[in-house]
Chains A and B, each alone.
Chain A
Amino acid sequence: DVKVTQSSRYLVKRTGEKVFLECVQDMDHENMFWYRQDPGLGLRLIYFSYDVKMKEKGDIPEGYSVSREKKERFSLILESASTNQTSMYLCASSLGPGGQGARAFFGQGTRLTVV
């Protein structure tokens, strides 16, 4: 079965810090995604990548950047953490376009608290 692993379950960071969230998938999926999940707002797409070194902005990219140097790894970077970035962050991967190729496999999530 596909495994998507996020490097941390819980993180506490200070305002202004640079924060790195790491995600690794083991199924050679082309596509990888970063979402944030907040109560009542569902899943909001921050960035996605459909190939190595490629990235596309999602719905809420402000304050975030990403890096995909290897196919299996997709990193989310908070350039200068702020309290409004306190959230659950979810990484996902999927195989490719069309039908079940859109099926996304999720990591367990990283709960980030910025103080």
Chain B
Amino acid sequence: QQQVKQSPQSLIVQKGGISIINCAYENTAFDYFPWYQQFPGKGPALLIAIRPDVSEKKEGRFTISFNKSAKQFSLHIMDSQPGDSATYFCAASYSNYQLIWGAGTKLIIKP
């Protein structure tokens, strides 16, 4: 029940395309769903986050779509750029300080 399942493990997208990464969870008590971005040699950094009372959140080219009934959420990167090449982690938390992490997706944007 504590797991967050992330897919795909790796993803290659052409420049200008849409990158989509999916996550699924079991625990309905989760109330905070962030996405983190990690570049090689760096620690992860918060990219965008959503609470379960909304179905979508958009920040620039990055959008989280949230489906509460299906217990799934996804990250969409529009007009993907080579600078978006990184590892992306989804996570979930339930009113405390602990984050439950997905396994990560390595995204490569081909020029």
Contact = CB atoms under 8 A, between A and B. Distances in A.
A97 B94 CA distance: 9
B36 to A, nearest CB: 8
B32 A42 contact: no
Given A42-B102, A99-B32, A4 B95 contact: no
B58 interface: no
A102 B101 contact: no
* Majority-rule SS of A interface residues: mixed
Interface residues of A, number: 27
Category for how many chain B residues contact A? 20 to 34
Interface in B2-36: 6, 9, 31-32, 34, 36
A97 B95 contact: yes
Nearest to B100: A45
Given A40-B103, A50-B97, A99 B31 contact: yes
Contact of B96 (A41, A92, A97, A100): A97
Interface string B70-111: 000000000000000000010001011111011110000000
B45 interface: yes
Contacts of B36: 104
A42 to B, nearest CB: 4
A75 to B, nearest CB: 17
A98 B96 contact: yes
Contacts of A94: 97
Given A92-B43, A109-B41, 11 more contacts: A4-B43, A42-B89, A97-B96, A98-B96, A100-B32, A101-B97, A102-B32, A103-B34, A104-B44, A104-B99, A108-B42
Interface of B: 6, 9, 31-32, 34, 36, 41-46, 49, 51, 89, 93, 95-99, 101-104
